[in-house]
Chains A and B, each alone.
Chain A
Amino acid sequence: MIIASALFVGLCSLAVLIWTLSSGQYDDLDGDAQRILLDDDLDGQTKI
């Protein structure tokens, strides 16, 4: 039972990892690191 649940949890995390891979989340690591600095939500408003 314990082994089965370990297998299940392991497979789940593997599936999530593969999903993040194929959805392109690692395609632009440099860009994402910089994008956090952008103030997208301030567009069109006066900046404080």
Chain B
Amino acid sequence: MAALNLSPTLEFSPLLRKTPGGAYAFEVAVKGARCANCIAKIERGVGALEGVEQARLNLSTGKLTVLGRNMAPQRILRRIQDLGYEAQPFEAEEVLSADEGEGRLLLRCLAVSGFATVFVMGLTDAVWYGGGDLVLAVRTQFFWLAAVVAIPAALYAGQPFFRSAFRGLSKRATNMDVPISLALLLSLGLSIYQTAKGGMHIYFDAAVMLAFLLLIGRFLDYRLRDRARTAARHLLALQTLLVRRLGANGEVQTVSAKDVAVHDRLSLATGDRVPVNGVIEDRDTELDMSLVTGESVPQPARRGAEVPAGAIVTGASVTLRATARVENSLIADLARLLEAGQQSRSAYVRLADRAARAYVPLVFTLSFLACAGWLIAGATIAQALTNAITVLIITCPCALGLAVPAVQIVATERLFKRGVFVKSGDALERLAQVDAVIFDKTGTLTVGAPVLLNASELPPGILERAAQIARASRHPLAQAVAQAAGPGAIAAGVHEVSGAGLACGDGASLERLGNAAWCGAEGAGFQLWYRHAEGAPVGFRFQDQIRSDAIEIVRALRRRGMRVEMLSGDNPIVTASVAAEAGIFLWRAGVTPQEKVGWVQNLRKAGHHVLMVGDGINDAAALATADVSIAPGSATDISQRAADMVLRGLELAPIVEALDVSRWARRLVLQNFALAIAYNVTAIPLAALGFVTPLIAAATMAGSSLLVTLNALRLAGERTKPWA
């Protein structure tokens, strides 16, 4: 289903981007490239095409950039598909707006602060260890040199924190970056003052080390999100961007789908996606309605039938009369639901931010109290301020800043090895709270492809012959027949009869493999028939198979106190039998995509935290609406991008693993908070009383960060816990 259906007449020019050199760039997301061989095959294959000057594949992001002056994008896509990879064009504007600068900035900041940390420490720590031997003037010189390096370095490397703190403050909210920024700036300021005065208490090294340690956490967090974002940049449904409109005199014009008006007549070839809701005007055909029902087996559609946008024409080409504009069609509806779901999710407050909200006012109060206390005790204003600032610096949430990303990166890495790709760190936090799981049926609990049931009941030789014909087709039922027969030859002279099936030979030797009406057969329960000339038709029965570990998964989830439900767009009979087999008591059949969203919303309103597991385009909006969502590896692009986590293999078992790891990770995060707070509880009184020297500050800061990181690593060390 994910294969791009290419119509020769569609233009792709909106997808070309002009480069400064005057050439055009065309960017394609390539799926399935893994090795050097793939790179060579794709780059050479595409590079050999006419008009292409250069083709370069980025294996990490799966992005192929093609440069050329006069190239045909559809031929490039076709070539990649012929080579055996999935190809989807990037939308030009999307590529332009994509911000790839953040990662580089973080790395640059990391490099600068790392360098400064080593250099400044070398200078200042030398003074503290051998301080007694140095003349005051030399010492001050050392400190000024440290300042010259540390101040620009800290200001440069602190950028990510300053920006985020500013963003937070301008929205009148405090985040973790507010105390971090303050600590950075105040420690620099205090150090300059101390150096000028000839004092010992300078924090240049602490400032750059603070930036360095925190940037490590920040960079890990960024890497986590970045991997997800490259996966999400794929275009969802290019096919609907441009359509062929029939003019009054029958001439064909290619127009953008958003310019289609109600009553326009559109020409749809086999393989085209229906761009707007409409009515079929000229003949019967077959449609892949997986967008609506999640079922990939094509459904017959009669002339005059209403067709929703997003269905794919798999039978004969038809003319469609539009009954709605794009923005009122099903796809647009789903896109809006998807967006609404993602917005509601962004309202989730991360654990770290919640901690910051409680923490920041507390720290300010304490440092204010320290200042006031010293003043009352009769200290000078300078001394009181120095001690107050020391409190701020020492409580700077270095360990708090690492507490969450350290755990999340270890948990994500662990799950990645187990076959779960986690797209964002806070998805793990949300998963830990889940108490209800909703499964989609087709493609999620089941394999998603029909399997031949009655192979053993067929007359001898029939299966083999039918398979030879079936191998010529990509129809799901034909593929199921071929699959049941195993590898073998393809019959010669097979041609597809639209809306009927496959034919081979003619006259007295005509063989037919197709639907009941065409084969002249009668009998319920058979989805496909084979008939040789005028012989008796033979029926084939198919059913989707439940995944091998579905039953265990449902049981394991229930043992963890989960409410397990199933929602399906399929008919009640099939849904009931799958539910019974999987051991799910709560299920609903015939559910539209919108109803799935409604169901999830109702559960959430009832106070449940919902995990949605689904694979189809029809599940995407529900996936985005749920608290957290998982898509199997076989899922459609849109679902994978809507989901928080994607399974890599064909098994469902990693879902339970992910659940366990997320709960465990939550415990570790809370432990880390406790550790960081314990450190502060001991450090604050010392700082407030003026006992803290810069050396102690540096040591405790590094020590607590190390402790937090080691605690997070426990998640990686432990053996797999049996869950079944």
Within 8 A of A (CB), among B13-65: 35-36, 39-40, 57-61
User: In the complex, A30 Cα to B112 Cα: how many Å?
Assistant: 25
Query: Whose C-beta in chain A lies nearest to the C-beta of B145?
Result: A3
Max count, chain B CB within 10 A of own CB: residue among A6, A22, A31 = A31
User: Closest approach, in angstroms, between the C-beta of B141 and any C-beta of chain A?
Assistant: 10
User: Closest approach, in angstroms, between the C-beta of A28 and any C-beta of chain B?
Assistant: 4
Residues on B with C-beta less than 8 A from A36 are 36
> Is A21 in contact with B107, judged by CB distance below 8 angstroms?
yes
Partner of B104 from A10, A21, A37 at Cβ < 8 Å: A21
> Is A34 in contact with B39, judged by CB distance below 8 angstroms?
yes
Within 8 A of B (CB), among A1-48: 3, 6-7, 10-11, 13-14, 17-18, 21-22, 26-31, 34-38
Residues on A with C-beta less than 8 A from B702 are none
> Is A27 in contact with B119, judged by CB distance below 8 angstroms?
no
Interface status of B123 (Cβ within 8 A of chain A): yes
> Is B119 in contact with A10, judged by CB distance below 8 angstroms?
yes
Residues on A with C-beta less than 8 A from B104 are 21-22
> Is B123 in contact with A3, judged by CB distance below 8 angstroms?
yes
User: In the complex, A35 Cα to B149 Cα: how many Å?
Assistant: 39
Interface status of B115 (Cβ within 8 A of chain A): yes
> Is B145 in contact with A35, judged by CB distance below 8 angstroms?
no
> Is B39 in contact with A35, judged by CB distance below 8 angstroms?
yes
> With A21-B107, A22-B104 in contact, is A27–B58 under 8 Å at CB?
yes
* Binary interface encoding of chain B residues 59-86 relative to chain A, with 1 for a CB under 8 A from any of its CBs, else 0: 1110000000000000000000000000
Interface status of B258 (Cβ within 8 A of chain A): no
> Is B36 in contact with A38, judged by CB distance below 8 angstroms?
yes
* Binary interface encoding of chain B residues 491-507 relative to chain A, with 1 for a CB under 8 A from any of its CBs, else 0: 00000000000000000
> Is B36 in contact with A37, judged by CB distance below 8 angstroms?
yes
Within 8 A of A (CB), among B128-154: 145, 149
Residues on B with C-beta less than 8 A from A11 are 115
Within 8 A of A (CB), among B89-123: 104, 107-108, 111-112, 115, 118-119, 122-123
Residues on B with C-beta less than 8 A from A10 are 115, 118-119
User: In the complex, A26 Cα to B132 Cα: how many Å?
Assistant: 46
User: In the complex, A46 Cα to B666 Cα: how many Å?
Assistant: 59
Query: Whose C-beta in chain A lies nearest to the C-beta of B61?
Result: A28
> Is B108 in contact with A7, judged by CB distance below 8 angstroms?
no
> Is A28 in contact with B58, judged by CB distance below 8 angstroms?
yes
Query: Whose C-beta in chain B lies nearest to the C-beta of A31?
Result: B59
Residues on B with C-beta less than 8 A from A34 are 35-36, 39, 59
- Give the number of residues in B that approach A within 8 Å (Cβ atoms): 21
Partner of B60 from A17, A21, A28, A38 at Cβ < 8 Å: A28
Residues on A with C-beta less than 8 A from B145 are 3, 7
Residues on A with C-beta less than 8 A from B112 are 14, 18
User: Closest approach, in angstroms, between the C-beta of B461 and any C-beta of chain A?
Assistant: 46
> Is B58 in contact with A31, judged by CB distance below 8 angstroms?
yes
> Is B115 in contact with A30, judged by CB distance below 8 angstroms?
no
User: In the complex, A22 Cα to B104 Cα: how many Å?
Assistant: 7
> Is A35 in contact with B115, judged by CB distance below 8 angstroms?
no
> Is A14 in contact with B60, judged by CB distance below 8 angstroms?
no
Query: Whose C-beta in chain B lies nearest to the C-beta of A29?
Result: B60
User: In the complex, A11 Cα to B115 Cα: how many Å?
Assistant: 8
User: Closest approach, in angstroms, between the C-beta of A7 and any C-beta of chain B?
Assistant: 7
> Is A31 in contact with B108, judged by CB distance below 8 angstroms?
no
Query: Whose C-beta in chain A lies nearest to the C-beta of B35?
Result: A34
User: In the complex, A28 Cα to B40 Cα: how many Å?
Assistant: 15
Residues on B with C-beta less than 8 A from A7 are 119, 145, 149
* Binary interface encoding of chain B residues 644-662 relative to chain A, with 1 for a CB under 8 A from any of its CBs, else 0: 0000000000000000000
User: In the complex, A14 Cα to B208 Cα: how many Å?
Assistant: 15
User: Closest approach, in angstroms, between the C-beta of A47 and any C-beta of chain B?
Assistant: 13
User: Closest approach, in angstroms, between the C-beta of A15 and any C-beta of chain B?
Assistant: 10
Query: Whose C-beta in chain B lies nearest to the C-beta of A26?
Result: B107
Residues on A with C-beta less than 8 A from B119 are 6-7, 10
Within 8 A of A (CB), among B275-325: none
Query: Whose C-beta in chain A lies nearest to the C-beta of B142?
Result: A3
User: In the complex, A29 Cα to B149 Cα: how many Å?
Assistant: 32
User: Closest approach, in angstroms, between the C-beta of A35 and any C-beta of chain B?
Assistant: 6
User: In the complex, A13 Cα to B111 Cα: how many Å?
Assistant: 10
User: In the complex, A29 Cα to B60 Cα: how many Å?
Assistant: 7
User: Closest approach, in angstroms, between the C-beta of B216 and any C-beta of chain A?
Assistant: 16
Residues on A with C-beta less than 8 A from B59 are 28, 30-31, 34
User: Closest approach, in angstroms, between the C-beta of A8 and any C-beta of chain B?
Assistant: 11
> With A10-B119, A18-B108, A21-B104 in contact, is A30–B36 under 8 Å at CB?
no
Residues on B with C-beta less than 8 A from A28 are 58-61
Residues on A with C-beta less than 8 A from B107 are 21, 26
> Is A35 in contact with B111, judged by CB distance below 8 angstroms?
no
Residues on A with C-beta less than 8 A from B118 are 10
User: Closest approach, in angstroms, between the C-beta of B155 and any C-beta of chain A?
Assistant: 15
Max count, chain A CB within 10 A of own CB: residue among B111, B112, B122 = B111
User: In the complex, A31 Cα to B107 Cα: how many Å?
Assistant: 20
User: In the complex, A7 Cα to B149 Cα: how many Å?
Assistant: 9
Residues on B with C-beta less than 8 A from A13 are 115
Partner of B39 from A6, A21, A29, A38 at Cβ < 8 Å: A38
Query: Whose C-beta in chain B lies nearest to the C-beta of A43?
Result: B44
User: In the complex, A19 Cα to B58 Cα: how many Å?
Assistant: 20
Partner of B40 from A14, A21, A27, A38 at Cβ < 8 Å: A38
> Is B60 in contact with A27, judged by CB distance below 8 angstroms?
yes
Residues on B with C-beta less than 8 A from A21 are 104, 107-108, 111
User: In the complex, A35 Cα to B39 Cα: how many Å?
Assistant: 8
User: In the complex, A34 Cα to B118 Cα: how many Å?
Assistant: 34
User: In the complex, A10 Cα to B145 Cα: how many Å?
Assistant: 14
Query: Whose C-beta in chain B lies nearest to the C-beta of A14?
Result: B115
User: Closest approach, in angstroms, between the C-beta of A21 and any C-beta of chain B?
Assistant: 6
> Is A14 in contact with B36, judged by CB distance below 8 angstroms?
no
> Is B60 in contact with A31, judged by CB distance below 8 angstroms?
yes
User: Closest approach, in angstroms, between the C-beta of A41 and any C-beta of chain B?
Assistant: 13
User: In the complex, A2 Cα to B40 Cα: how many Å?
Assistant: 50
User: Closest approach, in angstroms, between the C-beta of B64 and any C-beta of chain A?
Assistant: 11
Query: Whose C-beta in chain A lies nearest to the C-beta of B105?
Result: A21
User: Could you list 4 further interchain pairs (A-B, Cβ under 8 angstroms) beyond the known A10-B115, A21-B107, A22-B104?
Assistant: A10-B119, A21-B108, A28-B61, A35-B39
14 A–B contacts, CB within 8 A, in A order: A3-B145, A7-B149, A10-B118, A11-B115, A18-B108, A18-B112, A21-B107, A21-B108, A28-B58, A28-B61, A31-B59, A31-B60, A34-B39, A38-B39
A-B pairs, 3 with minimum CB distance: A31-B59, A34-B36, A37-B36
